[in-house]
Amino acid sequence: MKSLILNILTLLGIVQGGAPIKEGEPAYMFSLLNHEENRVNLYDYRGRWVVLYFYPKADTPGCTAQAKEYSKLMPKFEALGVKVFGISTDGVDSLRKFVQKYNLEVELLSDQKGKVAKAYGVTLYAGFCSRDTIIINPNLKVDKVYRGVDPSADPHKVLDYIKKHLK
């Protein structure tokens, strides 16, 4: 029944999704603006682990919990040399306000057209990203894909995964 509903919503243009990216595939190289209007290019992070967590909408309960949890864990990610980006279809102004309101430490990127989300197989529901996390290894290959993550648990799960794979 769920797949039938998704198919109908897809036909109506309410749900859009890209082909699911697989673990081991090259990461999709992107260039997006961050919450400070600076351009971020994924290729500049080769040689480092990168976390891309996609979330639906800034300043909503689940997204706020996830961003706060990543921010709280940011010193641990940074100590491991890991770069974390939160990505949504929100505009730069919305992202800036979200960061300022909660004093977030995580860098947020604006994917207003959803092009990067689709490239990583993230489903867009009426223009909002599903809650998925992609871990990219230092060789710029997709190392792990988590779909439909729990916003509060995701940052801890991701940190644990990276710690295990650094050994």
Residue among 46, 48, 156, 44 at smallest CA distance from 109:
44
In a domain, 17, yes or no: no
Domain containing 52 equals 25-166
Residue 16 lies in a domain: no
Q: Average pLDDT, whole number, for the chain? A: 89
The model's confidence at residue 167, banded by pLDDT at 50, 70 and 90, is low
Q: Is residue 14 part of a domain?
A: no
Question: Considering only 14-23, 64-73, 148-157, which range has the smallest mean pLDDT?
Answer: 14-23
DSSP characters for 128-151?
A: EE--EEEEE-TTSBEEEEE-S--T
Model confidence band, residue 86 (pLDDT cutoffs 50, 70, 90): very high
Rounded mean pLDDT, 110-139 = 91
What is the arithmetic mean of pLDDT over 109-136? 91
Answer whether residue 55 is part of any domain: yes
Q: In what order do the strands lie in the sheet with 123-125?
A: 15-17, 123-125, 128-129
Domain membership flag for residue 11: no
What is the helix (H) or strand (E) element at residue 7, kind and residue range?
helix 2-11
Residue carrying the six token digits 């921010």: 71
In a domain, 104, yes or no: yes
Q: What is the CATH number of the domain that holds 34?
A: 3.40.30.10
15-24, 64-73, 110-119, 138-147: least confidently modelled range: 15-24
> Measured between alpha carbons, how far is residue 159 from residues 62, 103, 119 in Å?
19, 21, 24
pLDDT tops 70 at residue 12? no
Among all residues, which ones are annotated catalytic?
63
Residue 3 has pLDDT above 70, yes or no: no
- Report the pLDDT value the prediction gives residue 166, as an integer from 0 to 100: 84
* Residue 63, in any domain of the structure: yes
Q: How many domains does the chain have?
A: 1
Q: How far is CA 134 from the centre of its chain?
A: 7
Average pLDDT over residues 69-95: 97
Q: Does residue 66 fall inside a structural domain?
A: yes
In this prediction the pTM is 0.88
